[in-house]
Amino acid sequence: MPIAQPYSLLIRNAAQVLTLVGPPPDKPLAGAAMSEWRIIDLGYVACYGGSIAAVGPMHELDEALIGPDTRIIEATGRVVMPGLVECHTHLVFGGNRADEFQRKLQGESYLDILASGGGILSTVRKTRAASDEELLAQALHHLKGFRHYGVTTLETKTGYGLDKPTELRLLRVARQAGQRQPVRIVNTFLGAHVPGPEYKGRPADYLAYLAAEVLPEVQGAAEFVDVFCEEGAFGVADARRYLQRARDLGFKLKIHAEQLHDLGGCLMAAELGATSVDHCDYLTPEGAAHVAAAGQGRTVAVLLPLVPMFLRQAQYAPGRQFVDAGLPVAISTDFNPGSCPSKNLWLALQVACLKMGLTPREALAAVTLNAAWAIDRQQDCGSLEPGKRADVLLLHVPDYRELPYWLGENPVAQVVIGGEVV
Ligand SMILES: [Zn+2]
């Protein structure tokens, strides 16, 4: 980077700059480090093109690097922080499940609805019937919503096709959605969401089909392979075999586990070197310590607090104990048509504080740097550091402690993605 060249963008006089920079640099934040990252009072963020050039207190700003073409944004009275990283969504699907929401309110459980051919399988029918154009239009609509909440990088999973042609179509649509708007997309293949309708009652056969016929064609189109390890979906032994195969093919691994029962899926995936283990509502604090050890501090537990809330489930992941056990924690919405139709990652952060016991600083780390680790994007985003992509939010509040406090509110005033105001 030529030092003498003026900044292209300067965000200055911020009441607080939440850098998310703190030890250790080679692992996600865990334990006390989740709340020990640096906050700069009265600070600035300077960008050069698409990257962050400098971050610091105003008294260290080099005025010589402000040129006639430097775009200046005054952030007086505002918190400035990294763009949100949304590390677990099911973005591309047909239709919605407002009808089943009614059934849930009348007392039917998630697994009852799934067993009656509803749930994921009803979205599979609507997704298979939808055209590419319909799926893309709906995905772009949802991405616009995420952007409005300050999401600048988003992971999305397939899993509503459950056959080769539709699953490949979902990956294609997700890629197109990434090209049509500025939020960066990370693709995960979740063909192993539940057994496809053609494989009802034969989960092992379905996984064998995916491993033999679909995974080889997904290479290059998806970076991660994910599996739903749960009663009514896939057992631990079958899921292990499938993830091992995926790893052999060069995929990075994720798992949906311990959402409704403690089957041991999180530990199994961590032993295989999974990048993240997601849900964890039924993972115990002792189990969390084992996952932290098996994952060598690199496997991130992705907590999805809006899901138990939307499913009216009493059990939330014991996030406080996870942090105390040294397990790195991220927070996501799990945006999907069945168990969380919300794109409000701020609300997820707030519910994580209220129902999982995270502190505001821990929760902020969980939607930024640790979420970036959960999708292997820690080199690009999740903190405000020179060399990282210039994904920056300006918020309506002057103090980060207000972020979990204004329940349900969207604090985002301005969103910068790759150095461009969007
Ligand atoms: Zn999910």
Cis geometry, peptide bond prior to residue 386 (ω within 30 degrees of 0): no
Note the CATH architecture for domain 85-374: Alpha-Beta Barrel (3.20)
The CATH number of 9-83+383-421 is which of 3.40.1190.20, 2.30.40.10, 3.40.630.30, 3.30.230.10?
A: 2.30.40.10
| Separation CA 301–CA 276 (nearest Å) | 6
For residue 42, the CA-to-ligand 1 centroid distance in Å is 38
Instruction: Tell me which residue of 188, 400, 360 sits closest to 274, measured CA to CA.
Output: 188
For residue 62, the CA-to-ligand 1 centroid distance in Å is 45
| Separation CA 162–CA 156 (nearest Å) | 15
Domain boundaries, the chain: 9-83+383-421, 85-374
CA distances from 388 to 85, 147, 301, 381 (A): 14, 19, 24, 6
Quote the pLDDT of residue 23: 78
User: 160 among the known binding-site residues?
Assistant: yes
Q: Which residues make up the environment of ion ligand 1, defined by Cβ < 5 Å?
A: 334
| Separation CA 333–CA 349 (nearest Å) | 9
Quote the pLDDT of residue 115: 81
| Separation CA 9–CA 21 (nearest Å) | 21
For residue 52, the CA-to-ligand 1 centroid distance in Å is 32
Report the SS3 class of residue 20.
coil
Residue with tokens 């501090």: 297
Provide block-wise average pLDDT over 10 residues at a time, the chain (422 residues). 80 98 90 97 98 98 96 98 98 93 85 82 95 98 98 98 98 98 98 95 97 97 98 96 98 97 97 98 97 97 97 95 98 96 98 98 98 98 98 98 96 98 94
Instruction: Tell me which residue of 312, 259, 279, 333 sits closest to 108, measured CA to CA.
Output: 312
- The conformation of residue 199, written as its DSSP 8-state character, comes to G
Q: Are 73 and 11 in contact (CB under 8 A)?
A: yes
| Separation CA 393–CA 108 (nearest Å) | 40
Q: How distant is the alpha carbon of residue 138 from its chain centre?
A: 19
Instruction: Tell me which residue of 161, 155, 193 sits closest to 174, measured CA to CA.
Output: 155
For residue 41, the CA-to-ligand 1 centroid distance in Å is 37
Instruction: Tell me which residue of 354, 357, 290 sits closest to 327, measured CA to CA.
Output: 290
User: 38 among the known binding-site residues?
Assistant: no
Question: Alpha helices of 130-254 — where are they, by DSSP H?
Answer: 132-148, 164-180, 203-209, 215-218, 236-248
For residue 90, the CA-to-ligand 1 centroid distance in Å is 6
For residue 272, the CA-to-ligand 1 centroid distance in Å is 20
User: 321 among the known binding-site residues?
Assistant: no
For residue 341, the CA-to-ligand 1 centroid distance in Å is 11
Quote the pLDDT of residue 3: 54
Please give the helix or strand (H or E) that residue 319 lies within, else none: helix 319-324
User: What sign for the dihedral angle of Cα 200, 202, 203, 205?
Assistant: negative
For residue 308, the CA-to-ligand 1 centroid distance in Å is 12
For residue 89, the CA-to-ligand 1 centroid distance in Å is 6
User: 148 among the known binding-site residues?
Assistant: no
337 burial (CB, 10 Å; 0-12 / 13-18 / 19+) is: buried
The one-letter code for the residue type at 242 is Y
For residue 38, the CA-to-ligand 1 centroid distance in Å is 31
CA distances from 255 to 228, 318, 338 (A): 6, 18, 18
User: 256 among the known binding-site residues?
Assistant: yes
For residue 16, the CA-to-ligand 1 centroid distance in Å is 33
Which residues fall within 8 angstroms of residue 98, CB to CB, at 6 or more apart? none
User: 193 among the known binding-site residues?
Assistant: yes
| Separation CA 93–CA 96 (nearest Å) | 8
User: 338 among the known binding-site residues?
Assistant: yes
